Chains A and B, each alone.
Chain A
């Protein structure tokens, strides 16, 4: 479905929703990054995703300007396959970011359960900590 006569405008129109979404999420990821590896990978994935969309628009503009011989040229093939690989890499980075973050969460849960519960009594205090009395009230003797 061609809404515009100009193929470049048409391409921009169809790419716009994804570009807007990726930009919004890139900003959100930058705000919540906290230096975690998964967050960095997701951000790189978003940047690659945006670069690929930009590259596809440039490629369309290139094909509009040139004649049909461009489809056989080395430059066109390199750009085409390069963008394809970058697009795949961005998806791969998102998968790896999710995997890395899920592994981080698992480790946090395991460490939290092993180290934090039950809470160790402070040094020099033999009685159970005050907070635990609310959970485990002393039994009447």
Chain B
């Protein structure tokens, strides 16, 4: 195995995937679903990079494992990573709603004022 090839082509991807995994794990306690999706996505990408490295160096590359990587692991990782980002953009339905706050608004934490003249209170 050429060390230079590994450093140029494999190591950066392993490093980036590890970095994404760390960011996902750090956000796990604060952003439930989005962080889980991102963590799984970067984990899958790390797994794909490792498999790619192992297959390229130690096994026959022209095997069914390439199909598995290209059509299952890698697209799965991309979907999970992008779903994690997308779910951070969409308003969360499972936001913890506090008393006196609207639960079906765009943001559960946005103050929308209280209706002081609600129907039924006018009489």
In the complex, what residues of B have CB within 8 A of residue A25's CB? 82, 86
Q: Does A98 contact B19, Cβ atoms closer than 8 Å?
A: no
Q: Which B residue's beta carbon lies closest to that of A33? A: B89
Q: Which A residue's beta carbon lies closest to that of B82? A: A25
Known: A88-B13, A94-B20, A119-B111. A135 touches B100 (CB 8 A): yes
* Assembled-state Cα–Cα distance A112/B86 (Å): 22
Q: Which of B16, B34, B63, B99 contacts A95 (CB 8 A)?
A: B16
Q: Which of B71, B89, B98, B116 contacts A122 (CB 8 A)?
A: B116
- B: number of interface residues (CB 8 Å): 51
Scan A117-138; emit 1 where CB is below 8 A from any B CB, else 0.
Answer: 1110010010001111001100
Chain A stretch 42-101: residues in CB contact (< 8 A) with chain B: 42, 46, 81, 84, 87-88, 91-92, 94-95, 97-99, 101
Q: Does A113 contact B109, Cβ atoms closer than 8 Å?
A: yes
Most chain B CB neighbours (cut-off 10 Å) among A29, A87, A131: A131
* Assembled-state Cα–Cα distance A91/B19 (Å): 10
B104 to chain A, nearest CB (A): 15
Judged by DSSP, the binding face of A is: helix
* Assembled-state Cα–Cα distance A28/B88 (Å): 13
* A-B pairs with beta carbons under 8 A, tally: 133
Q: Does A116 contact B19, Cβ atoms closer than 8 Å?
A: no
Q: Does B116 contact A129, Cβ atoms closer than 8 Å?
A: yes
Q: Does B38 contact A98, Cβ atoms closer than 8 Å?
A: yes
- A: number of interface residues (CB 8 Å): 51
Most chain B CB neighbours (cut-off 10 Å) among A39, A94, A98, A125: A98
- Further pairs besides A25-B82, A88-B13: 13, Cβ < 8 Å: A18-B74, A22-B82, A39-B89, A42-B85, A91-B16, A94-B81, A98-B85, A102-B30, A105-B88, A112-B111, A116-B109, A130-B116, A131-B100
